[in-house]
Copies of this chain bind each other. A is one copy, B any other.
Amino acid sequence: MSSDDSTLRAIPAVPLTLEGHAVLHQMFRVRRDAWRALDANARTEMISQARSVLDQIGRFENGESAAFQGLGHKGELTIVHFRRTFDEIGAAQNAIARLKIHDYLEQTTSYLSVIEIGLYEASLEIYRKLADGGLSNGSDEWRAAISSELGSLRAKMASRLFPRIPARRYLCFYPMDKKREGADNWYRMPIADRRRLMQEHGTVGRRYAGEVTQIISGSIGFDDYEWAVDLFADDPLVFKRLVYEMRFDEASAGYARFGPFYFGIRLGADGLEQIFAV
């Protein structure tokens, strides 16, 4: 316990969060031998259908989809969907599966999450205010107050919760956990200490603000890691610099467990043609 604030012991360990778009990442390999066996007209038609559907679902009012060229065996086509609801994610998945070109794809992996803003700063302020106001943690009054605070934060942060897919050329995507290994157990650390580490971590991120658009999504309860990170940049080397620098933050050095990394190049107008050319 590095905190000597007695209030702290009475407040929740879990930080408040805000949730936005549901997100699905789909990674596909092209089954190129079957694809090449098709006649050229069939191929052209299927690409054309795929492009038109991608364009269409890429412009939904309630979210959008974007396609990337993946590099390597994890799959040369990555599709990212942002949607208002998980039901709409299900519908987007169905729309992709119904594409004729889908018969020539093999889904290698995917990731399901929901855009999340973690509120370590605000949580401690709110928790302390409520505790100082005499509300007891978990009571109906407490919960109503929290709900109301979250409501106003949600309204203020709507554009960050329900963003467009950033219009940058390169994508870096990876899921991650906070460790619970021996002495390095994030979930046993006092919330004030976690807040401090997340602040430091955020400081590094902000240094890259102009170069990288970062979208954090939460996947506890939805997929195999706890969080997922999407980085969008116009210079791919920035991904390495940012993630390397962050790795020395105590939040990462001591507590991050990283999943696989995926790299993508945003498909331009003729991107599908390039990937599917034989």
Residues of A that sit less than 8 Å from B by CB: 12-14, 17, 19, 22, 24, 26-27, 29-30, 32-34, 36, 69, 71-74, 76, 86-87, 89-90, 93-94, 97-98, 100, 102-104, 107-112, 114, 138, 170, 172, 180-185, 187-188, 207, 218-224, 231, 236-237, 239-245, 247-248, 250, 252-254, 256, 260-261, 263, 265, 274-275, 277-278
Contact = CB atoms under 8 A, between A and B. Distances in A.
A244 B17 contact: yes
Nearest to A239: B221
10 contacts: A87-B265, A172-B221, A180-B253, A181-B182, A182-B184, A185-B254, A220-B240, A221-B231, A222-B261, A223-B263
Nearest to A184: B182
A86 B248 contact: no
B71 A93 contact: yes
A24 B240 contact: no
Given A12-B248, A182-B183, A222-B263, 9 more contacts: A14-B247, A26-B72, A30-B97, A76-B97, A86-B263, A220-B240, A221-B231, A221-B263, A223-B263
A89 B71 CA distance: 8
A161 to B, nearest CB: 12
A93 B76 contact: yes
Contact of A33 (B103, B220, B221, B242): B103
Contacts of A188: 250, 253-254
A275 B263 CA distance: 29
A17 B242 CA distance: 12
Contacts of A26: 72-73
Contacts of A224: 260-261
A14 B76 CA distance: 32
Nearest to A19: B237
Nearest to A108: B73
A172 B222 contact: yes
B32 A240 contact: no
Given A14-B244, A182-B181, A222-B239, A94 B274 contact: yes
A-B residue pairs, 7 tightest by C-beta: A221-B239, A72-B110, A187-B253, A33-B103, A13-B248, A73-B110, A221-B243
